[in-house]
Chains A and B, each alone.
Chain A
Amino acid sequence: MNNILVLPMIIPVIIGIILMFLRPFIRTQRWMSFAVMVVNTGISLYILNTIQSEGVMRLDFGGWLPPYGILFVGDSFSVLLVLTTSIVTAICLLYAFNSIDRARENMFFYPFVNLLVAGVNGSFLTGDLFNLFVCFEIMLLASYALISIGGTKVQLRESLKYVAINVLSSWFFLIAIGYLYGMLGTLNLAHMSARIAESGQTPTLTVISVLFLVVFSLKAGLLLYFWLPGSYSAPPTAIAALFGALLTKVGIYALFRMFTLLFYHEPSITHTLIGIMAGLTLIGGSIGAIAYNDIRKIISYNVVIAVGFILVGLAVATPAAIEGSIYYLIHDMIAKGLLFLLGGTMIALTGTSKIGNMSGLIRNYPLLGWMFFIALLSLAGIPPLSGFIGKLLVGQGTVEAGSYILLTLAFLSSIFVIYSLLRIFINAFWGETIISKEDEVPLTKGLIIPCVLFTVATIGLGLGAESIALYVNDAVETLLNPEIYIDAVMNNE
């Protein structure tokens, strides 16, 4: 019992609502939302360290003991993601200060970002299935507003697709919850896990788990990613970066939770299915990443590849693979944020998103070029950078489990990541510059500092992997031994 657990969700909600009344004061809105993220970072660091000493934390709302009440549960896995969310959002907000136009800022941009973060953090922390649905909806409603804010033609068309697909999958989510409640008579994740372990995972439960797999795959972009490239390339850069870094990751988190805590008894069916879907995602994402000449499309398909790669770890489900997935998940939130910001900066500087129309940017903007190179290496998993340890551990896990097809696909996809990003690098940064000194758009500090911060974060995470190893190991421990989680929730004294 510790009230601090609710703060990462409740602070953004309260500040988001307050900011709606401060509509004319843009500057106040900016710094208040930035302060929220900084405070959240501090709180989640504190929670993370408390969990190390006191074990999994929980907060029963209104003092109703589980399984009767609703509750928040914080284990290392969820709090690590809350921490990364806060950092990524803070940096994206810094970028938004200088890139989002005044009209959008006036149309409640900052309140919606706060509500989005509240939904994301709530989804990470909640301990029962129905509140997962509710927090998903909070997050999605904010994202519907963010994706269509500004109301350009492309945005509205893409947001229609995005809203339609997410509404549909939400109702499927509700249907799946209904079936599961009918089967188990509870919605508390730990209680459900205990009941499934008691009665065994019957075929009906396996079918329900596949329904959940479909629902979360739609949200995470696992195989069912057809809506993703269009909708992630439509909104302005700062929003697209937030989406790319956060939204799919919530789906991935839910998949990890469901298939390590609840439905881990029939891996030959469910985990094989996840493996097949992850493999196909890697193939589809790779093809998409090299098929387009539009920077935003290439970057969006890179999101798809990363989803496939992280889910390879879940499909294999050995300790090393899960550990690798968690490292890669954290890395990917940071690196995708960086990639989206860099791509968006390039588009802002040149006024085009086609790589054929850019050339020699590195002569005008050397720092931008080198940061893009670092992002490229980081995503490909070159040693000192943050992607390496995740790739290594997932690779090790797949070898241990003997799934060589997944291993091959996972590492081939890295080559496609390098190739697709090198195409941007060669076309846009190399060659003769076509921007003369007079036409050169100055690269303002406001645009470059967030990118530098992300670059520092990705290098720091690579070199300092040791410093988060403690937390990641604890997260793996909790994920692979559901009884730790169950014990922390169901043990009432």
Chain B
Amino acid sequence: METLIIVLAGVLVTVATYLILSRNLIRVILGTAILSHAAHLLLMTMGGLKIGSAPLLGEEAATYTDALPQALILTAIVISFAVTAIFLVIAYRAYQEVGTDNLSDMRGFEDE
């Protein structure tokens, strides 16, 4: 199970890298969003995956899932949500102001 998830995280990182390296601003933002998912998956896998056990079943439970990574991922998801939202807003305002969403066209203005 862990192997499968790690491979999935790897695939997500590959996709994210491809998207972040592109010139289109929206693709870059999507890339960072996908990278955040890869990081979340990694975080979860690092706590160890156990099939069929609940986070906590009292103090005498034989097996239980580590609840900490889940709490961390929950926080991280909220943060990635907020960051992606503000990134999209700034990108939209920049598109309005600069008139392009092509990153290589954004270099240098006449006032510099």
Contact = CB atoms under 8 A, between A and B. Distances in A.
A154 B111 CA distance: 9
B43 A168 contact: no
Contact of A160 (B40, B76, B106): B106
Contacts of B8: none
- Interface of A: prevailing SS: helix
Given A141-B82, A151-B93, A151-B97, A174 B46 contact: no
Contacts of A134: 75, 79
Given A153-B97, A174-B36, A159 B90 contact: yes
Contacts of A175: 38-39, 42-43
B32 A167 contact: yes
Contacts of B15: none
Contacts of A164: 28, 32, 87
Contacts, number: 95
Given A171-B39, A187-B68, A179 B46 contact: yes
A437 B27 CA distance: 54
Interface string B72-112: 10011001101100110011011001100001001001010
B90 A137 contact: no
A56 B32 CA distance: 39
B98 A156 contact: yes
Contacts of A178: 39, 42-43, 45-46, 69
A360 B77 CA distance: 55
Contacts of B94: 156-157, 159-160
B47 interface: yes
A421 to B, nearest CB: 22
Given A130-B75, A153-B98, A167-B83, A160 B43 contact: no
Nearest to B25: A160
Contact of B72 (A130, A154, A156, A160): A130
Contacts of B80: 171
B86 A163 contact: yes
Contact of B90 (A152, A156, A181, A182): A156
B59 to A, nearest CB: 13
A171 B35 contact: yes
B93 A181 contact: no
A267 B38 CA distance: 31
B54 to A, nearest CB: 19
A430 interface: no
Contacts of A182: 45-47
A163 B109 CA distance: 20
A157 B106 contact: yes
A248 interface: no
A137 B93 CA distance: 22
Interface residues of A, number: 31
B43 A167 contact: no
Contacts of A156: 90, 93-94, 97-98
A178 B41 CA distance: 9
A167 B87 contact: yes
A302 interface: no
Interface in B8-54: 20, 25, 28, 32, 35-36, 38-40, 42-43, 45-47
Contacts of B32: 164, 167-168, 171
A168 B34 CA distance: 11
A145 interface: yes
Interface string A119-140: 0000000000010011001001
A181 B39 contact: no
A130 B70 CA distance: 13
Contacts of B28: 164
A141 B106 contact: no
A459 interface: no
Interface string A181-224: 11000010000000000000000000000000000000000000
A137 B68 contact: no
A177 B43 contact: yes
A159 B20 CA distance: 16
B49 to A, nearest CB: 12
A144 interface: yes
A425 B28 CA distance: 42
Contacts of A157: 94, 98, 106, 109
6 contacts: A151-B93, A154-B109, A167-B32, A167-B87, A174-B36, A175-B43
Given A159-B94, A175-B39, A181-B72, 12 more contacts: A152-B97, A154-B109, A156-B90, A156-B97, A160-B90, A163-B90, A171-B32, A171-B35, A174-B39, A175-B42, A179-B46, A182-B45
Interface of A: 130, 133-134, 137, 140-141, 144-145, 148, 151-154, 156-157, 159-160, 163-164, 167-168, 170-171, 174-175, 177-179, 181-182, 187
The 8 A-B pairs of least Cβ separation, nearest first, read A182-B46, A156-B94, A178-B43, A174-B39, A178-B42, A178-B46, A171-B39, A167-B32
